[in-house]
Every structure is written in structure tokens, then in C-alpha cells.
Amino acid sequence: MSTILNRLERARSGKGITVVSIIGLILVPLVIAGGLVWALWNPAERLGQVTAAIVNDDKPVTVDGQTVPLGRQLSAGLVDGDQKTNYTWVITDASDAKAGLADGSYTAVVTIPENFSKAATSFSGDAADAERARLDVTTSDRSKLVDDAISQTITQTAASLLGRQLTTTYLENVYVGFNTLHDQLGEAADGAKQLSTGGLSLAQGAQQLANGTTQLATGATQLSSGATQLSDGVDALADGATQLSSGASQLSGGASQLANGAATLYAGTQGDGSADNPGLVGGANGLAEAATGTSRVADATKAAATSVAARCLDPVKAAALTAIDPTLCKDILTTVGTATALTDGDVSTGYPGTTSLATTTKRFSSSMPALVDGIAKINTAAAQIAAGAAGLADGASKAASGTTQLQTGASALADGAAQSATGTTQLADASNQLASGAGTLSGGITSLASGLQSAVDSLPTYTSSDRQTLAGVVADPVSAGDSATVSFGTNSAPFYAVLALWLGALASFLVLRPVPVRAFGSTRSSLRLALGAFVPAGAIGMLQGLLVAVITAPLLDLDAGGWLGFAGVAVLAGLVFAAANQALNALFGGAGRFISMIVALVGLATGIIATAPQVLDQILAFLPIAPALGGLQAIAIGDAGAAAGVVGLVLWLLGSLAATTFAIARARTTSVKALVPAVA
């Protein structure tokens, strides 16, 4: 053993390698992997070691008569959280929180502003007043790299829980509103059906109204024509009434004169009983006596005339008379004729004669009492006629005045009837439009009723249990489950192993020489010299791979076969990483160790977070740690990519040994100029 160790050469010294150095090299990846596991293994369970502060400036609000102190509820939610997965929270004031941040006593301070409750419940009021509730999270300048993210995550988680409660309550009310809306829409649908029935009746009534107004328009037109005729007739009536009034006035004057004449006539029939004024009756009696005497005179005259005429008719006597006077017979005959005519009358002249006059006088005398009685009645009637004519004249005057007013009214009636005819025609047109619109309205209301019923049928109703279930699901529709917890364990085991093995190989060649110091003068081949320098580092790398597999075993949920595969790839990776670091050191010297550190940094940067720049992922694909990481991850998750990783590692192993052989071969050649000082 000591002989083997004495053959090993230190990288920067001529001294040999001791057992302690070898043990130290073996422990490098073990310490790195163990330190990473110890420091990063399930940090969420150790959050209770971190102290943070809460400053609650919130003022509670009143909603529906209930006090809502959301600031206190959030503070209680943070303080009462699981201490294994939560900070140790301290409720304090602003000044103490500021001081704690300054000296690092508080890793973070959560400030709940004054309007937190008001903003968080604002969605229950007017939509325009709704606003998002906010929290202020301040971290200490002395906090660690990821403390800010953890503080934000914890605070947001607590706020999300509170917001979920508010959203759940809000959604429960929304689902209750669905039930209310369902009932109200049902009532609206029933009302719409009734309205549809009424709309149909309205349409029918409107059609009847249209028909009636059309008939009314026709009647109004006839009324207008009749009113015009009435106006013309009233005009003629007014003229006749005026003439009637004038004639009645004249009649009244004539009736007054008739009454006066009748009174005078009646007075004349009565007389005063004297010989000078015997009255009509007394005169009639005298006339009767005169008629008797006249009759007697007539008879005597007729007899005398007949006697005289007989003489003139007798030729003898006629001759005697003629002798006396030639014209005497002629005159006698003329006189006799006249006397006869006086007594008998003359038919040709209509003269009644004394005989007829006597007879008539007797008749007149006998009818005189009746005449007097008639004249009395005439007197009375004439007085009544005079009074009636006066009333008729007054009434005719009033009738003329009323007829004038009637004429004015009839003219206005004619104008109004014409306007009424025009208006009723327009009303008939509007009624027809109303009937058409009412029909359309009825159809629209029917569609409305159908649509409302469809809305009622499609609108869900929820029981209390349904509302709670739906509200809970909608308030938090996506759950990350256990995978949402922060962990640097199971999925990170391949990353820990690769990083530890690479750093272990880097440390190996901080101690071991990548190129033997006697390579220049050795008679062995460059490949043999390369393998001679590689074997110790390769053996150490393989042992490191096995130890890393053992250390990371608790992080893996693998069966025996899976763990053996994981350990095999880890051992191969340790071997390959040793060869790669040897090649870097052999080719570039100290710069090779710098390049090895860059490889470790690229692996670290791309392995912690997925948001690393894409160029680093592209560079990683060309590094030896890429196939090792891919192979170990494939085994850890049960994927089929382990073989590709093994092939990649083998290729890197062969390439690295070839590069080291090239570097040794290059180191074994020199120029004559370089040898001259050595010979001298």
C-alpha cells in the first residue's frame, strides 16, 4: 500500500500522497452531497426557525350589520398556522418592525393597511367601488437569498386562504341568487304567458276598434254632410223665422185693428135704444116692417102698372092716349117696365126688385139675432186673436233670435263635424296600425314567454349543500396537492449527485497530477502514462459515486434494482468526471481547473431553477455532466433514458482519455532551443 502511495505524485509538490490525502479526496463529494442534503432537505419543515412580524393597521368594517375584522383574521391565520411549515410570527407595531428589519431580528414584516377590510369586502357593494385588497411585505436586508420568495409565498398563501373564504361566501350568495332568479323568472314567465293572452285579446280588441273606427269615420263623414245640410237648412230657417217675426208683428197690428173693429161692430149691433141709434136688432125689426110695406107698395105698383100697361096695349085706349101725347104709351110702357123691374127685379142687371128685397129684408131681419150673436163671438175671438197675435209676434221675435243662434251653432256643428270626420279617419288609420302593432306585440310577448320559460328551464337551482360544494370548487378550482410544497429532496437527488461527483473529481486533481512528472523522459507510451495517472483518480471517482448513491438513497423511492442502476450510473459518472477533469488539467493546466469550476456553476445554475437563461441549457448539453444528469434522472423517475446517458458517459470517458494522451504526448516533445540551456 505504501509503495503504491509513494508512486502517486502531488499536483504542485514533489512529496508523495498520504492515506489522509486519499481519504480527504474520497470525502469531498460526500461532504458536498451531505451538506446539500442537510442544508436543503425539506426546508419547509424548518420555517419555524425564521421569525417575522405582523403590523396590523386595518380598521374593521360593517357589512350587513356584522363587524368584519379581516386584518385580525389574517393575522390570526398567520400566527396560528402550522409551525413546521410557517414562520414564527410576532404581532407588533410599525416602529418595532422597522427596528427588527434593520438588525435582522425579523426576516420579513407583513403590514396590513388601514383599508384592508374595506377593500376586501368592496365587491359586495357597487361594482365601481370594488378594489383589490393589498398587503405590504418588506424583507430585511440581512435576509438570505430565497427568503424574499418564501416570505411572499407564505403571505400570499395566507391571503389566498382568506380570499378563498371571502370568495366562497360571495359565490354562495351568487348561487342563492340563482335560486331567487329562477323563482322570479318563473313568475315572470307566468306573467308573460298571461300577458301573451292579454296581448292576443288586445290584438282582437284593437282589430274590432279599427273596424268600429272605420265605421265611425264613415258615419262622421255622413254627419259632416248632414251637418252641412243642417246648417244650410238652419240658414233658411233663420230667414223664414225673421220673415215670420215680421209677419207676426204685422199680424199683431192687424189683429189689434180687427179687435178694435169687432168691438166697434159689436157696439154698433147693440145701439142705445133711442130712435137715432136703435141698434142692429132694432134696425132689423124696422127693416122687417119696411119690407112688409115695400111688399105692399110693390104689389100696388105692379097692379097699377099692369092696369096702365093694359090700356096702352089696348089699341083703342092706346090711340086715345097717343092722341093726348104721342109718346105717352111709350113712356107708360117704359114706366111699367121699370115698375115691374122694381118689383120683380132685373135678371140681366142682377137687381133684386122690391119683391125680392122685401123677402130678403125679412130674411135679414130674421137672421139678425144670430148675426148679433156671431158678431159678439167675433168680438171675443178678435180680442183673443189680438192677444195671441201679440204673443205670436213676441215668440216669433224670440224664435228669430234663437234661430240666429241655432244658425251659428249649426255652422259650428258643420265645421266640427268636418273636423270630426277628418279625425275619425285618422283614428281609423291609427286603429288599424294599433291592431297590427297589437298583433306583433302579442307575437313578441308569446316569444318572450317562451324565452323566459326556456331561461327558467335552463337556469339551475342549488341546495345548500350544492352551493357550498360549488362555492368551494369555484373559489379554489385548481389544487396543487402535495406537489405544491417547497422541497429540495427527491427530484433533486440526481442534481445533488452530479454536482457532488464533479466537484469531487475537481478536488482530486487539486491533489493528484494529471500528467506524470517523469513523462518527458519515460520510455512508456503516452497512453500508458495517461492511464497510469488516471487510475488512482478513476478509482477515487468510482468510490465517490458509490458513496454518493448511498447518501442520496433516502431521497429516492426506488426498489433494489432501481437503486443498483442508480448506483451504477453514479459510479460510472465518478469515473468519467475524473477522466474529464484530468483532461482539462492536462490540456490547460490551472485554466483547466477554472473551466471545471465553470462547468460546476453551469450545472448549479441550470439545476436550481427553470428560468435560467436558455443559453446555459444549450451549453449544458455539450458538457459531461449532461449525460450523467440525464441517466440518473431517468432512473429516479423510472424513464427509459438511462441507456442514452450511459452511452454519453462512455463517449466522454474515451474522449477525455484521448485528450489526456494527446496532452501527455505534447508534453513529451520539445524544441532544441529549449534543450540547449538544459544541456549547458
Fold entry, domain 46-169: abc type-2 transporter like fold (3.40.1710)
Q: What is d(CA 389, CA 51) in angstroms, rounded to the nearest whole number?
A: 132
* Contact status, residue 672 vs residue 658, Cβ threshold 8 Å: no
Q: How many CA atoms lie within 13 A of 489 on its CB side?
A: 16
Q: What is d(CA 375, CA 381) in angstroms, rounded to the nearest whole number?
A: 9
Segments making up each domain of the chain, as ranges: 2-40+489-679, 46-169, 279-431
Q: What is d(CA 73, CA 225) in angstroms, rounded to the nearest whole number?
A: 90
Task: Let me know if 88 is exposed, middle or buried by CB neighbors in 10 A (0-12, 13-18, 19+).
Answer: middle
Determine the 3-state secondary structure of 524 from DSSP: coil
Q: Alpha helices of 555-670 — where are they, by DSSP H?
A: 560-588, 590-608, 614-620, 625-637, 642-667
Distance of CA 363 to the CA centre of its chain: 116
452 CB-near residues (< 8 Å, 6+ apart): 185, 188, 189, 192
Q: What is d(CA 288, CA 360) in angstroms, rounded to the nearest whole number?
A: 9
Q: What is d(CA 530, CA 509) in angstroms, rounded to the nearest whole number?
A: 14
Buried b (16+ CB within 10 A) or exposed e, 442-470: beebbebbeebbeebeeeeebeeeebeeb
Distance of CA 263 to the CA centre of its chain: 100
Amino acid occupying residue 101: L
- Classify residue 51 by its DSSP letter: E
pTM above 0.75? no
Instruction: Give the residues across from 554 on adjacent strands.
Output: none
- Classify residue 9 by its DSSP letter: B
Instruction: Look at residue 483 in the predicted model and tell me its pLDDT.
Output: 38
Instruction: Look at residue 570 in the predicted model and tell me its pLDDT.
Output: 95
Secondary element (H or E) of residue 566: helix 560-588
The full length of the chain comes to 680
Q: What is d(CA 32, CA 575) in angstroms, rounded to the nearest whole number?
A: 18
* Contact status, residue 27 vs residue 551, Cβ threshold 8 Å: no
Instruction: Look at residue 136 in the predicted model and tell me its pLDDT.
Output: 85
* Contact status, residue 396 vs residue 245, Cβ threshold 8 Å: yes
List, for the chain, all residue ranges whose pLDDT scores fall below the cut of 50. 5, 10, 12-15, 145, 477-487, 679-680
Q: What is d(CA 550, CA 563) in angstroms, rounded to the nearest whole number?
A: 9
Determine the 3-state secondary structure of 62 from DSSP: strand
